[in-house]
Structure formats: structure tokens, C-alpha cells
């Protein structure tokens, strides 16, 4: 079942939209802002994003997503209806731009169209990729198994970019308890994950340490 991430800070509208889409057979994760993406345990198949978000704008969120997932569906639903806003939305990577108020049936049609397009996404063969359904890391003709927690971690690291994630965030994504487990236990887990990249034949450190902060990705990863 297709998983939608609905990023909308207007609580009433978010609730109404989520209930409508669930009634049409979709799974929906409701998020009030971009930062809440760090807390989800699954990788969305399609995003519905409002542009007027707190802390991080919808434009910036779309750019972050597109850095690592160029085939994932992105629909903008925004009160900004000027031509320059719409042009910028498409420019940063939106597939569809819908101006509020949006007829639910129009939104549904956009979701279904993008869902059909992404059933067989194209994969960039020059980068390693994560197959979410099989939980494997792939590069060229090689693959290695990942745990569900490792898939979550790699996805969140890809969204975070070179800024990376703090150590406590990485531990939580790996189902570790920051209050109980020692820091060297995290280093062991990261070392094991780095080893999986090496087993694929990828040289160099794909996961880098951010001094006095945590970890970041040093290589591009695609999610399919």
C-alpha cells in the first residue's frame, strides 16, 4: 500500500486531507513540519508538501528530498498562487503544484497519476541505492542486506545532507537508547554499516563523522 507523507502545519486541514486519503486506500503519515520527518520509521513513497512551513520552508524540504530521491513523487499544495511561486516550486523539484483551496478529487487524481508513474522508477546506476521493499543496499551487480533500522538511518542521513545528524538522533534511529547505551556501542554499529558498503566494493568512508556532533553521508544514495 502506497505510503504518503503529508507535511502541513494547518492541523485541521492536515487532519481532513489525511482522512480523505486514507478513505481512498492510502497510508498517510501526518507531519506538522519538516523536522518531524526525522522521527518517522518508514520511507514515504510520495510527499504532499505545503510551502509555508515553520523552521524549514517547503522549498528547502523539496530540495533536500530531491538530492537523494529524484524519482519519488512530490506534490505541492500551497496558498501561494503567484506565477513566480509556482515556477520556483517546479524549479526545486515538485511534480505537481496545486493552489489552495484544492478540490480533494483533484488532489486524488494527482496522487494516483504520480503513483502509477513511480511503480517502476528509474534508478541512477552511478550511485548505490537502497531497495526499501527488500531492505538491501545495492551497487552495480552487488547487494547486501540491511536491517529496517539501517534503512531508516540512511534515509534520514540523506535528508540531513552534509550537516548530518546528532549522535542521539542516530542512536534512536538504530533503536538504541541514548540514556542507557555507551557511545562506543554506537561506533560499533556505524562500523558494521560502513563494512556493508565495503562489501559492495565501494572504497572510502561513505558515512563520515561530524566533529562533536554525529555522522553524515559522504556519498550519494538513491532510494527506490
Which one of 4-13, 34-43, 109-118, 126-135 scores highest in mean pLDDT? 4-13
The arithmetic mean of pLDDT across residues 87-91, rounded, is 91
The strands making up 165-166's β-sheet, listed across from edge to edge, are 165-166, 214-217, 207-210
The length of the chain in residues reads 224
- What are the helix (H) ranges across the chain? 11-23, 58-68, 83-92, 104-117, 148-160, 167-173, 183-199
The arithmetic mean of pLDDT across residues 3-13, rounded, is 94
At the topology level of CATH, where does 3-117 sit? Rossmann fold (3.40.50)
pLDDT 10s digits, 32-85: 998 888 788 778 889 999 999 988 899 999 998 888 777 789 999 999 988 899
**Are the beta carbons of 29 and 39 closer than 8 angstroms?**
no
- Other C-beta atoms closer than 10 Å to the C-beta of 11 total 10
* Share of residues in the chain with pLDDT > 90 (%): 42
Q: Domain coordinates of the chain in residue numbers?
A: 3-117, 128-223
Classify domain 128-223 by CATH number: 1.10.10.10
Q: How confident is the model at residue 21 (pLDDT cuts 50, 70, 90)?
A: very high
pLDDT 10s digits, 160-218: 776 788 888 899 889 888 877 777 889 899 999 999 998 888 866 688 888 778 898 88
CA angle (157 as vertex; 15, 3 as ends), nearest 5: 35
**Are the beta carbons of 113 and 43 closer than 8 angstroms?**
no
* Of residues 146, 95, 126, the one with CA closest to residue 221: 126
The arithmetic mean of pLDDT across residues 146-150, rounded, is 92
Q: How confident is the model at residue 118 (pLDDT cuts 50, 70, 90)?
A: low
Average pLDDT of the chain, as a whole number: 86
Burial profile 150-171: b = 16 or more Cβ within 10 angstroms, e = fewer: bbbbbbbbbbbeeebbbbebbb
Amino acid at each position: 500500500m502506497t505510503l504518503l507523507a503529508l507535511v502541513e502545519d494547518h492541523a485541521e486541514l492536515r487532519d481532513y486531507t489525511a482522512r480523505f486519503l486514507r478513505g481512498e486506500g492510502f497510508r498517510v503519515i501526518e507531519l506538522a513540519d519538516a523536522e518531524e520527518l526525522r522521527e518517522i520509521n518508514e520511507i514515504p513513497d510520495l510527499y504532499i508538501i505545503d510551502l509555508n512551513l515553520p523552521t524549514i520552508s517547503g522549498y528547502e524540504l523539496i530540495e533536500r528530498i530531491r538530492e537523494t530521491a529524484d524519482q519519488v513523487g512530490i506534490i505541492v499544495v500551497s496558498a501561494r498562487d503567484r506565477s513566480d511561486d509556482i515556477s520556483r516550486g517546479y524549479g526545486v523539484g515538485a511534480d505537481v503544484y496545486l493552489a489552495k483551496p484544492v478540490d480533494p478529487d483533484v488532489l486524488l487524481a494527482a496522487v494516483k497519476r504520480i503513483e502509477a508513474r513511480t511503480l517502476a522508477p528509474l534508478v541512477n546506476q552511478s550511485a548505490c541505492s537502497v531497495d526499501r521493499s527488500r531492505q538491501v543496499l545495492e551497487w552495480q551487480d552487488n547487494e547486501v542486506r540491511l536491517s529496517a533500522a539501517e534503512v531508516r538511518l540512511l534515509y534520514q542521513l540523506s535528508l540531513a545532507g552534509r550537516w548530518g545528524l546528532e549522535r542521539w538522533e542516530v542512536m534512536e534511529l538504530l533503536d538504541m537508547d541514548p540514556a542507557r547505551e555507551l557511545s562506543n556501542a554506537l561506533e560499533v554499529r556505524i562500523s558494521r554499516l560502513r563494512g556493508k558498503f565495503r562489501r559492495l566494493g565501494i572504497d572510502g568512508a561513505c558515512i563520515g563523522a561530524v566533529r562533536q556532533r554525529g555522522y553524515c553521508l559522504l556519498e550519494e544514495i538513491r532510494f527506490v
